[in-house]
Structure 1
Amino acid sequence: MPLIYRCITDDDTSKFCHRVSEALSKGWSLHGSPSMAHDPIKGVMRMGQAVTKEIEAEYHPDMKLGQQ
């Protein structure tokens, strides 16, 4: 089965955690550790988490990965 990849990013708030939790509830798996960096323009910490998922369909660049 093809494996698809996406990276979820957002400010370090509960919204980020909810986005990652939603992806996990839809069958995505964590890929590596989360990352954190300071955004000096916005003055906030930013989070990132890569996730992967096996799909039955063939990968196509027009796929809406968040809807898989």
Structure 2
Amino acid sequence: MKIYRLLTEEDTSAFCHKVSLALSKGWELYGSPTYAFDAANGVMRCGQGVTKEVDTPYTPDMKLGQQ
């Protein structure tokens, strides 16, 4: 089964590290990254979808970051 996550972070190196960590754990990029202004916090934010094949059935209480 394929699971999906959307990684988000302020536009700093922390975002690149978050995506790199997911890739190192077997996640694959899904689609193009996104970039938008977060008016509530006055910062730019980045987002990137990632997917991963897992051998367990999906449940809503899965901890996707631990897969």
What TM-score does the superposition give when structure 1 sets the normalisation length? 0.95
1:3 aligns with 2:2: yes
State the partner residue of 2:17: 18
Unaligned runs of 5+ in 2: none
* Aligned-pair identity (%): 64
**Deviation above 4 Å: which 4+ runs of structure 1?**
none
User: What are the ranges of 5 or more consecutive residues in structure 1 without an aligned counterpart?
Assistant: none
User: Cα RMSD between the aligned structures?
Assistant: 0.6
What TM-score do you get using the length of structure 2 for normalisation?
A: 0.96
Aligned residues: 67
More strand by share: 2
Shift of 1:40: 1.6
Deviations 1:5-58 (A, max 9, x none): 000011000111100000000000000000000112211100000000000111
